[in-house]
């Protein structure tokens, strides 16, 4: 291990320091900036600052030295005083230099003292810088310690930040999972709510105070329908068949309550109306008015309930079946009330118009028109949707009218009566009433159409008998064949009429003459009989009137006039009559 170099004296240090900047070959040449720094250090060394952390003793010594220097500079002293002070400073005030050896010793000591005094300011500066260095080292240590603490804090911050970020992510994940769980719980709760309603619905249905008119019945019914619909649409759920059966049972109870209430209401109305008329044979307008007034008054009690059933009938077959049963009950009660009354009314009309078949048919059909219209209006008071069963009931009621009228129709032998009956049924009933109100009078139209066909059939039958007996089997009298005497006589009559017409005022005319049968006359004027006399005349001759015709021609025209508006012209029957007409002309 190498020994450390011996310590150098102050002189050697100064000598070596002088080699740094020796000209012309300095060992450590300084730059201008470094030279300026050295000069600044030298100036600072000559006026050293007072260290902040110097002890009080040092501060006092410095103060005394500076004060002595100041005083020394201020007061001039003699050479002896200076020497005395120098010897005093060297501790040789009591010694005397007598030999050269003493002088050289004193000189060496003095030189050493001078050297020491000369380097004191540098040492002082060095000590001051050393103090600053120690303070800087202490500050540096503090800074390093602070940096270490900051680094530790930074590590802790990063650790905490990482933990916080992880915790934040974990919280977000937990919140997300919580939201998913909440949604899942709500979804499960929503699904379970349909199943949980079973107990509530059962409790309400089994309550003795439950009524179909209570405020909670319709909402309960709607909830029950929703539950059945939801469960039916999810057959993959556990215990699906069990809950579906239980809800169906609840639905059966609810529908039984609705059916019982509706049926009892309708039956009670019928019972009250029957009790008002013990004979059960109402035969006046007041009785019929009572039938409708009582039912219209009771309609609001069940209409709301029936509307609920009709709204659900398209979605669930159970409600459709219940609606059909209510329809059946309603129509049965109406039939029970109206059936005997209509039969008796028609019987009374028959007895009142026993000899006037046209008036009987007209009054009977008018009565049934009012019945059909009133029944449709009353049905609309209870129900909002139509049903074909109402028309079936009305057809059945119209049959009673048909059953009474048909025996009378098949015994009518007069063509005029049969023709008028056809006009009443076809024109007044079918074309006027039915076409204006086809929806309400559909059932009535079917009965009238059947009655019309029977009248037309009877008319055809009686017409053929008339043809056989009065046209084909006609035996002419001698007067029917008295030609040309009849024509000459009619010409004379015509000439006499012309003469009389000239004497009459201009507004009088022979055109006022009418045929015996107005319908045959209208048919002749319409063109059927115009072919008999194509000559244009301004005056009608008696020879052109039907009195001069052969009887079978006139009878044929009368038959055609009766059948023209009663039977379609495209039928073979009418065509045969036209041929028969031309045959008689020949």
Which is more confident, 150 or 12? 150
Determine the angle formed by the axes of helices 357-382 and 317-352, rounding to 10 degrees. Answer: 160
Region of 49 (left: φ > 0; alpha: ψ -120 to 50; beta: rest) is beta
Q: What angle do CA 342, 348, 349 make, to 5 degrees?
A: 90
What's the CA gap between 524 and 558, in Å, rounded?
10
Q: Which range is least confidently modeled, 216-225, 480-489, 491-500?
A: 480-489
Residues 356-369: pLDDT tens digits?
888 888 888 888 88
Q: Are 401 and 346 in contact (CB under 8 A)?
A: yes
pLDDT of residue 260: 92
- In sequence order, the 6+-apart residues with CB closer than 8 A to the CB of 343 are 400, 404
Examine the pLDDT at 325 and tell me if it is beyond 90: yes
Which is more confident, 511 or 52? 52
Q: Which range is least confidently modeled, 238-247, 248-257, 288-297?
A: 288-297
87: confidence class by pLDDT, cuts 50, 70, 90: low
Q: Are 438 and 373 in contact (CB under 8 A)?
A: no
- Mean pLDDT for the chain overall: 76
pLDDT of residue 36: 80
What's the CA gap between 422 and 456, in Å, rounded?
7
Q: Is 471 helix (H, G, I), strand (E, B) or coil?
A: helix
- Maximum Cα–Cα distance for the chain, whole Å? 227
Residues 123-134: pLDDT tens digits?
788 888 888 888
- Within 10 angstroms of residue 306's Cβ, the number of other Cβ atoms is 21
Look at residues 276, 575, 562 and name the one whose alpha carbon lies nearest to residue 419.
562
Averaged pLDDT for residues 406-432: 84
E strand spans, 390-448: none
Q: Are 561 and 522 in contact (CB under 8 A)?
A: yes
- In sequence order, the 6+-apart residues with CB closer than 8 A to the CB of 443 are 372, 390, 391, 392, 393, 394, 395, 397, 398
Q: Which range is least confidently modeled, 170-179, 295-304, 432-441?
A: 432-441
pLDDT of residue 30: 74
What's the CA gap between 368 and 29, in Å, rounded?
145
6: confidence class by pLDDT, cuts 50, 70, 90: low
Q: Is 379 helix (H, G, I), strand (E, B) or coil?
A: helix
Which is more confident, 516 or 437? 437
17: confidence class by pLDDT, cuts 50, 70, 90: low
pLDDT of residue 38: 76
Which tokens hold the place of 31? 């730059």
Cα dist from 9 to 129, 438, 454, 492, whole Å: 21, 147, 166, 199
Residues 562-575: pLDDT tens digits?
777 777 654 444 44
C-alpha torsion 485→488→494→496, nearest 10 = -100
Which is more confident, 542 or 335? 335
């Amino acid at each position: 291990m190498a020994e450390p170099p011996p310590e150098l004296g102050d002189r050697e240090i100064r000598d070596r320091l002088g080699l740094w900047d020796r000209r012309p070959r300095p060992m450590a040449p300084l730059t201008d900036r470094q030279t300026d720094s050295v000069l600044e250090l030298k100036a600072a060394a000559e006026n050293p600052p007072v260290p902040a952390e110097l002890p009080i003793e040092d501060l006092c010594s410095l103060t005394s030295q500076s004060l002595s220097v100041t005083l020394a500079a201020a007061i001039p002293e003699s050479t002896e005083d200076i020497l005395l002070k120098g010897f005093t400073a060297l501790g040789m005030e009591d010694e005397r230099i007598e030999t050269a050896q003493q002088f050289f010793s004193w000189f060496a000591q003095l030189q050493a003292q001078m050297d020491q005094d000369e380097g004191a300011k540098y040492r002082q500066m060095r000590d001051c810088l050393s103090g600053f260095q120690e303070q800087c080292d202490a500050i540096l240590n503090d800074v390093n310690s602070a940096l270490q603490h900051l680094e530790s804090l930074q590590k802790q911050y990063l650790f905490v930040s990482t933990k916080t970020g992880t915790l934040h992510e974990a919280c977000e994940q937990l919140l997300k999972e919580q939201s998913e769980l909440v949604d899942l719980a709500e979804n499960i709760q929503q699904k379970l709510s349909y199943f949980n309603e079973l107990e509530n619905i059962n409790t309400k249905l089994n309550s003795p105070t439950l009524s179909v008119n209570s405020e909670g019945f319709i909402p309960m019914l709607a909830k029950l329908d929703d539950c059945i619909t939801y469960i039916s649409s999810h057959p993959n759920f556990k215990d699906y068949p069990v809950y579906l059966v239980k809800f169906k049972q609840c639905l059966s109870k609810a529908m039984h309550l609705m059916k019982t209430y509706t049926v009892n209401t309708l039956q009670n109305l019928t019972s009250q109306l029957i009790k008002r008329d013990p004979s059960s044979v109402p035969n006046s307008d007041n009785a019929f008015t009572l039938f409708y007034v009582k039912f219209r008054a009771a309609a609001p009690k069940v209409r709301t309930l029936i509307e609920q059933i009709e709204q659900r009938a398209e979605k669930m077959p159970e409600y459709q079946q219940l609606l059909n049963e209510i329809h059946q009950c309603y129509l049965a009660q109406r039939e029970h009330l109206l059936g005997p009354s209509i039969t008796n009314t028609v019987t009374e009309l028959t007895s009142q118009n026993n000899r006037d078949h046209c008036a009987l048919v007209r009054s009977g059909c008018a009565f049934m028109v009012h019945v059909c219209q009133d029944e449709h209006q009353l049905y609309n008071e209870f129900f909002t949707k139509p049903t074909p069963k109402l028309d079936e009931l009305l057809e059945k009621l119209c049959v009673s009218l048909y059953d009474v009228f048909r025996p009378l129709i098949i015994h009518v032998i007069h063509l005029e009566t049969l023709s008028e009956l056809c006009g009443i049924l076809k024109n007044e009933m079918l074309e006027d009433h039915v076409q204006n109100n086809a929806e309400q009078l559909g059932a009535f139209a079917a009965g009238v159409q059947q009655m019309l066909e029977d009248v037309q059939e009877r008319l055809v039958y009686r017409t053929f008998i008339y043809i056989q007996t009065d046209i084909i089997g006609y035996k002419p009298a001698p007067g029917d064949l008295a030609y040309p005497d009849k024509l000459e006589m009619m010409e004379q009559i015509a000439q006499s009429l012309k003469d009389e017409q000239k004497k009459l005022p201009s507004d009088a005319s022979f055109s006022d003459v009418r045929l015996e049968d107005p319908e045959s006359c209208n048919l002749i004027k319409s063109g059927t009989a115009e072919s008999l006399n194509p000559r244009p005349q301004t005056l009608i001759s008696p020879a052109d009137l039907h009195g001069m015709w052969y009887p079978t021609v006139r009878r044929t025209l009368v038959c055609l006039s009766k059948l023209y508006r009663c039977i379609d012209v495209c039928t073979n029957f009418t065509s045969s009559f036209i041929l028969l007409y031309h045959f008689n002309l020949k």
